Amino acid sequence: MSQNPQNIQSVLNETRSFVPSLKATSSVPDMATYEALCAEAVRDEQGFWARLGRENLDWHKPFTQTLDESNAPFYRWYGDGLLNASYNCLDRHVLAGRGDVTAIISESDSGVVTRVTYAELLARVCQMANVLKSLGVQKSDRVIIYMPMSIEGIVAMQACARIGATHSVVFGGFSAKAIHERVIDAGAVLIITADAQTRGGKQLGLKLVVDEALALGGCDTVRHVLVNQRTEQGCDMVVGRDLALEPLLAQQSTDCVPEWVDAEHPLFVLYTSGSTGTPKGVQHSTGGYLMWATQTMKWSFDITAQDVFWCTADIGWITGHTYVCYGPLSCGATQLVFEGIPTYPDASRFWQMIERHRCSIFYTAPTAIRSLIKAADMDEQVHPKKYDLSSLRILGTVGEPINPEAWMWYHKQVGGERCPIMDTFWQTETGGHVITPLPAATPLTPGSCTLPLPGIQAAIVDETGEDVENGQGGLLVIKRPWPSMIRTIWNNPERFKAGYYPEELGGRYYLAGDGAVRHSDTTYFQIMGRIDDVLNVSGHRLGTMEIESALVAHPMVAEAAVVGKPDEVSGEAICAFVVLKSAIPEGEAAVKLANELREWVKHEIGPIAKPKDIRFGDNLPKTRSGKIMRRLLRSIAKDEAITQDTSTLENPAILDQLRTSVV
Ligand code: WTA
């Protein structure tokens, strides 16, 4: 498990409790209501989910079946209902007379602010949908989106949803190889991209990465690349294949009848890292997913028409899907979208933007908070107390455990001790929040995501699937299906079944892949980190295998093993142990090679996968049967004394070498 055991102990001993003072406007006002909802979900599971399905969404044809378990774990929800996600996010608000409400306030890296209303956004989505149709994109086709955090990116996603095409967004920081893998696995017919994105004052080419990806070959399914022109930089265009987006949009009508799809129709496939080799395409449905995106906006964030909601996640991650593209729009809310980075022009950018746009709900990652704490400690001018943050009423965090000190700072310095913090635990696979406090109801403990949402039967079990007692660590599972859960892994149903519904647990519980423990008194959940070989670096999921494969693809590398080590800012940092084909270089030459390997990994996967530490060794610590002993590598990475039994080790001398060779 990736978290430091000492941290876990200190969090479990955490006795501070913050009783909510917020008055909920639209959601759950107190714990009694929360408990009544949980009881309803157990007493009448189908009735409960059917009610939420009807309350949260507009159906073109209402569903009559709620949950179909006949082919478990391939569950079906609202199976005979017909709907359209983009209709629910746009048309229904315009038809209800709310077309003039601001849907998105977008701020560019350089500070240019653009606003669109729901009526304008609907018109733009329709034009984009018509462009897609004019290029022959049909229902069920897959479309890759490689775009910056922008209105255009959201329009592209919504337009796919409107015509029933399944989108697969690739994070703008991922490499050509990552795009290539996803294009092939998804069998994409079209790629939507931009010439470049601007972040931190720098223009980073996107289209040229797509060109590189397609040049790797085998992407015959791709007919066109649509290019949104965002900068003066421009880009090369391949005649016949590449098309400038803006002139095509201008020719299209602002009306487009939505394609009504089954509730189970795949809205999107989002690739994420697992414990083995290639990233897996997590497939989500339309009905169940959108229901939960909408419901959790109400429950976890108490969203109202008066709020200005800001989720800082990129659309390339699940958080940007559920809490930027779909949840806020489905609720008819006003949200802020930001293309830049928190530290440009300086580390007060977030606080300035909250002040400027009177943001009331702010949702970000612990890693961002930790880096802004550091910056504020060093420079008073970027401290949140210098800014008027009085518009805030609710704060949120996501992606990794938040340490109690960072929680306290967020609470005091950003929230003015007034705003409850929603520590939302969830995953790409869960579609939306699963364990999280409710802003007006749940007493908060720093560092704990508290209790499951109503309907989520989260539990902690041992390796055989038996419940463990509170206070005992174990595997986090969800015992009953829920509407927004992963449906399958694209192209790989066996991997879905084996990975998430393993035989060892009787094949009946969803296995989250995290270790957790429940507090003996409060029964609150404490997440202890991944139990598999998945790292969490700045809230981003990366498989150790992916990074290892990238390293061994370098001509000088014979073998590599990657582990995580705790890091003050990024939560976890990547530490790579590398065996070279030739002799280990020394001094400057070693530093040079280490940097070359970092650049190599950046090129193979993306900058977020660059190893922080690299250690060269003549070999890796292995058992006599040749298995790499990763727990020893984890101790070395942390500079800890090795207390584990090393008697099964084939080559004990290697430990000393690896210990001293950090570059
Ligand atoms: C971790 C992000 C502790 C966890 C939405 C999970 C968290 C993985 C929290 C999923 C939290 C997410 N507290 N850990 N509040 N939220 N995690 O798929 O290890 O990018 O399994 O989804 O992030 O990462 P993913």
Shortest-distance atom of ligand 1 to CA 427: 22
Alpha carbon distance 301, 27 (integer Å): 9
Q: Whose CA is nearest to atom 13 of ligand 1?
A: 401
386 versus 648: which is more confidently predicted? 386
Alpha carbon distance 404, 402 (integer Å): 6
Q: Whose CA is nearest to atom 25 of ligand 1?
A: 427
Alpha carbon distance 425, 452 (integer Å): 9
Backbone angles phi and psi of 567, in degrees to 5: -140, 135
Closest CA to 78 of 523, 360, 365, 487: 487
Q: How far is the CA of 526 from the centre of ligand 1 (A)?
A: 12
Which tokens sit at 69? 């378990």
Cβ atoms 463, 475 nearer than 8 A: yes
For 589, how many CA atoms within 13 A lie in the half-sphere containing its CB? 5
Predicted-complex ipTM score: 1.00
Q: How far is the CA of 18 from the centre of ligand 1 (A)?
A: 23
What is the DSSP code string of 327-361? HHHHTT-EEEEE-S-TTSS-TTHHHHHHHHHT--E
Cβ atoms 370, 569 nearer than 8 A: yes
Q: How far is the CA of 536 from the centre of ligand 1 (A)?
A: 8
Which class for 46: exposed (0-12), middle (13-18), buried (19 or more C-beta within 10 A)? exposed
Cis peptide before 607 (omega within 30 of 0): no
Q: Binning pLDDT at 50, 70 and 90, where does residue 248 land?
A: very high
Q: How far is the CA of 490 from the centre of ligand 1 (A)?
A: 21
* Amino acid sitting at position 221: T
Whole-number mean pLDDT of the chain? 94
pLDDT for the residue numbered 630: 86
Alpha carbon distance 259, 165 (integer Å): 9
Q: Whose CA is nearest to atom 8 of ligand 1?
A: 427
Distances (CA, A) of 512 to 45, 530, 549: 21, 9, 25
pLDDT for the residue numbered 9: 62
Which class for 5: exposed (0-12), middle (13-18), buried (19 or more C-beta within 10 A)? exposed
Q: What letter does residue 365 receive in the DSSP assignment?
A: -
Cis peptide before 404 (omega within 30 of 0): no
473 beta partners? 517
Q: Binning pLDDT at 50, 70 and 90, where does residue 613 land?
A: very high
List ligand 1's pocket residues with C-beta within 6 A: 272, 317-319, 398-401, 423-428, 449, 512-514, 527, 530, 536, 541
pLDDT for the residue numbered 379: 96
pLDDT at 516 over 60: yes
Average pLDDT of 145-172?
98
Per-residue pLDDT tens digits for 411-467: 999 999 999 999 999 999 999 999 999 999 999 999 999 999 999 999 999 999 999
pLDDT for the residue numbered 282: 98
Shortest-distance atom of ligand 1 to CA 512: 21
Q: How far is the CA of 426 from the centre of ligand 1 (A)?
A: 5
Q: How far is the CA of 131 from the centre of ligand 1 (A)?
A: 36
Which tokens sit at 565? 């080590």
Q: What letter does residue 61 receive in the DSSP assignment?
A: B
Residue carrying the six token digits 């390796």 = 463
Q: Candidates 312, 364, 426: which one to mutate for ligand 1, based on the most atoms within 8 Å of Cβ? A: 426
Per-residue pLDDT tens digits for 483-492: 999 999 999 9
470 versus 21: which is more confidently predicted? 470
Q: Is the dihedral of CA 152, 368, 531, 451 positive or negative?
A: negative
Average pLDDT of 378-402?
96
Q: Whose CA is nearest to atom 15 of ligand 1?
A: 425
Planar angle of CA 257, 295, 516, nearest 5 degrees: 130
Alpha carbon distance 169, 324 (integer Å): 13
242 beta partners? 225
Give the other-Cβ count within 10 Å of 425's Cβ.
Answer: 26
User: Ramachandran region of residue 539, left (φ > 0), alpha (ψ -120 to 50) or beta?
Assistant: left
pLDDT for the residue numbered 69: 98
Planar angle of CA 44, 47, 53, nearest 5 degrees: 140
Please, what's the b/e burial string for 77-99 (b: 16 or more CB within 10 A of its CB; e: otherwise)? bbbebbbbbbbbbbbbbbeeeeb
Shortest-distance atom of ligand 1 to CA 397: 15
* Amino acid sitting at position 16: R
Alpha carbon distance 446, 423 (integer Å): 9
pLDDT for the residue numbered 1: 38
Q: Whose CA is nearest to atom 6 of ligand 1?
A: 427
pLDDT for the residue numbered 595: 97
SS3 548: helix
Q: How far is the CA of 186 from the centre of ligand 1 (A)?
A: 24
Q: Binning pLDDT at 50, 70 and 90, where does residue 2 land?
A: very low
Cβ atoms 349, 108 nearer than 8 A: no
pLDDT for the residue numbered 4: 47
pLDDT for the residue numbered 10: 66
pLDDT for the residue numbered 199: 94
pLDDT for the residue numbered 3: 45
pLDDT for the residue numbered 539: 86
Q: What letter does residue 428 receive in the DSSP assignment?
A: G
Cβ atoms 627, 558 nearer than 8 A: no
Alpha carbon distance 360, 310 (integer Å): 8
What is the DSSP code string of 96-129? IIITTSEEEEEE-TT--EEEEEHHHHHHHHHHHH
What element of type H or E holds 142? strand 142-146
Closest CA to 164 of 76, 251, 257, 99: 257
% of the chain at pLDDT higher than 90? 86
Cβ atoms 134, 248 nearer than 8 A: yes
Q: Candidates 527, 533, 544, 572: which one to mutate for ligand 1, based on the most atoms within 8 Å of Cβ? A: 527
Q: What letter does residue 503 receive in the DSSP assignment?
A: G
Alpha carbon distance 440, 435 (integer Å): 16
Q: How far is the CA of 367 from the centre of ligand 1 (A)?
A: 12
- Among 83-87, 246-250, 541-545, the minimum mean pLDDT is found in 541-545
Alpha carbon distance 67, 362 (integer Å): 34
Closest CA to 268 of 141, 179, 176: 141
What angle in degrees, to the nearest 10, is found between the helix axes of 207-215 and 176-186?
60
Q: How far is the CA of 476 from the centre of ligand 1 (A)?
A: 12
Average pLDDT of 641-647?
78
pLDDT at 210 over 50: yes
Give the other-Cβ count within 10 Å of 378's Cβ.
Answer: 10
289 beta partners? none
pLDDT at 7 over 80: no
How big, in percent rounded to 5, are the helix, strand and coil portions of the chain?
35, 25, 40
396 beta partners? 363, 422
Q: Whose CA is nearest to atom 22 of ligand 1?
A: 427
Q: How far is the CA of 427 from the centre of ligand 1 (A)?
A: 5
Which tokens sit at 295? 């419901």
Per-residue pLDDT tens digits for 44-62: 999 999 999 999 999 999 9
